[in-house]
Structure 1
Amino acid sequence: MSGHEPVPAGRRPAVPLSRLAAPSGTLVAVGAAFAYVGAVDPGEPGHYPVCPLLHFTGIYCPGCGGLRSAHAVAHGDLATALGMNALAVAGFAAFAVFMVFWVVRVLRSRPVTVPLRTSHWWALGALALAFTVVRNLPLGAALAP
């Protein structure tokens, strides 16, 4: 087939392996990062830098506890991961869903688009801000790492 001829019904052209390079590379990189965080405990002092906001102000940022959360996920401990940083766990889950979406779209030879509007970014920012404020209040102590 020259590429201009119609594909017979019920048959799809083979997906070139090169189209899977980007999602595969992303999975390898993220997998390596999780493997490293799983092997090198962020709860042990001296392995990772300290959060500057927490260090200088005592305020938990939206990412505080994220590495410890990733460590718990790498060890299959979802309860501890949620206790360390529930927002990070939601981000890990959203990433996993996106990766499945990406691979399926590539395998079906479809474009990969995620139509995020400005309002979506504002909503994500508001969620991160609300999470930050609540986890630093006495009533949100359960959200603090």
Structure 2
Amino acid sequence: MQVTGRRAWDQMRSLRAPFGAAAVLAGAVTYLAVVDPHEPGHYPVCPLYWLTGLYCPGCGALRAVHDLAHADLAGAARMNLLFVFCVPVVITLWARWTLRSWQGRPVRASLAHPAYLWGLLAIVIVFGVIRNTPFGHFLAP
């Protein structure tokens, strides 16, 4: 009986990292839900936008989080479509991390393979370039 109790305790301890990350993220989302980034002066301006007038791939992400926190999917997509597409991926990866931690299995960094990282970098760069062109103006926040 002590072995079962010890195993349950170890399982609970193994969930500290994924639940800690979720708690920090929930706090940030709550703050963004309350303090509206659509209103000027609450958050600093993107340095790339401030220096060049160009939108970086992350521009509009704070406003997208605010809109998602208020269940406005269309508004979030207008602010940063790439971010909105990444949200389900991040949730899936967090769920996988949590499940593997609960099972006591090592968390594999299979997405850290160079091919995935180069592909992600290419997507981010292409998105950043397209949103600053006349035919990609619909991707600008």
Q: TM-score normalised to the size of structure 1?
A: 0.87
Q: Which moved more, 1:91-100 or 1:61-70?
A: 91-100
Note the alpha carbon deviations across 1:77-136, whole angstroms, 9 max, x for none. Answer: 111111100111122222111111111112222111121211211111110110011101
Q: Is the 8 A contact 1:20 1:103 kept in 2?
A: yes
Aligned sequence identity (%): 43
Q: Secondary structure at the match of 2:8?
A: coil
* One-letter amino acid of the structure 2 residue matched with residue 27 of structure 1: A
Task: Report the Cα distance in structure 2 between the residues aligned to 1:47 and 1:41, rounded to whole angstroms.
Answer: 7
For the pair 1:121 / 2:117, whether they are aligned, the reply is yes
Tell me the secondary structure at the aligned position of residue 104 of structure 2.
coil
User: Quick one: structure 1 residues 70 and 136, their matched pair in 2 at CA, closer, same or farther if it must change by over 3 Å?
Assistant: same
Is the partner of 1:34 in helix, strand or coil? Answer: helix
How many pairs were matched up? 137
Which residue matches 1:35?
30
- The runs of at least 4 consecutive aligned structure 1 residues that moved more than 6 Å come to none
The alignment partner of 2:62 has SS state of helix
Is this contact kept in 2: 1:59–1:136, CA < 8 A? Answer: yes
CA distance in 1, matches of 2:56, 2:105: 38
**Which of residues 129, 135, 139 in structure 1 aligns to 2:135?**
139
State the match for 1:14 in structure 2: 8
| Structure 2 unmatched runs, 5+ | none
Q: Partners in 1 of 2:14 and 2:104 — Cα distance?
A: 9
Amino acid at match of 1:24: F
Picking from 74, 81, 86, the partner of 1:86 is 81
- Give the residue type in structure 2 aligned to 1:141: H
For the residues of structure 2 that align with 1:46 and 1:56, how far apart are their CA atoms?
A: 17
Q: CA RMSD in A?
A: 1.7
Task: Decide which moves more: 19-28 or 101-110.
Answer: 101-110
| TM-score, structure 2 as length reference | 0.90
